[in-house]
């Protein structure tokens, strides 16, 4: 039985990694910086949300990326093959969802005889 526990823990870790990648795809700004703000310079001193252009232009040292986004960026930049697969897999998922939605909207059959045969109603 320990083999089953080992396989289950491996599968859970893969699911957590996939969920983490999806969160970074769906909400990149929030998952990278959260609600961090920094004080902008100039005559009009105001607070601005952190974004990647502030880090790339070295405008602010106060913006710190989350560890999850650092890990994701390291994987994305060092292994572009997996990033490309992940990108196209997301689009394939979106396309399949729309195709199944359109199919179920126009070709839905109210015949429930198969369900009756399966559940013996």
Q: Which residues contact 115 (CB under 8 A, 6 or more apart)?
A: 121
Residue-level pLDDT at 112: 55
Are 60 and 112 contacting, i.e. CB atoms less than 8 angstroms apart?
no
State if pTM tops 0.85: no
Cα separation, 3 vs 91, whole angstroms: 35
Q: 3-class SS at 95? A: helix
Residue-level pLDDT at 114: 57
Give the model confidence (pLDDT) of 7-51 as tens digits: 899 889 888 888 887 888 888 888 888 888 877 766 677 787 888
Residue-level pLDDT at 102: 87
What residue ranges do the domains of the chain occupy?
Answer: 1-74, 79-121
Q: Can you spell out the DSSP letters for 29-74?
A: HHHHHTT-EEE--SSS--EEE--HHHHHTT--SS----HHHHHHHH
Give the model confidence (pLDDT) of 58-116 as tens digits: 555 678 888 888 888 888 788 888 778 878 988 898 899 999 888 877 876 665 555 56
Cα separation, 47 vs 38, whole angstroms: 5
């Amino acid at each position: 039985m320990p083999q089953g526990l080992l396989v289950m823990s491996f599968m859970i870790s893969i699911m957590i990694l996939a969920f983490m990648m999806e969160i970074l795809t769906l909400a990149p700004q929030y998952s990278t910086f959260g609600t961090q703000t920094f004080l902008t310079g100039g005559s009009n001193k105001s607070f601005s949300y952190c974004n990647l252009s502030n880090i790339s232009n070295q405008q602010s040292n106060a913006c710190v990326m989350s560890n999850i986004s650092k890990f994701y960026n390291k994987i994305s930049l060092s292994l572009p093959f997996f990033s490309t697969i992940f990108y196209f897999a997301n689009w394939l998922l979106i396309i399949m969802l729309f195709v199944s939605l359109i199919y179920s909207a126009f070709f839905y059959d109210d015949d429930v005889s198969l369900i009756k045969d399966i559940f013996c109603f």
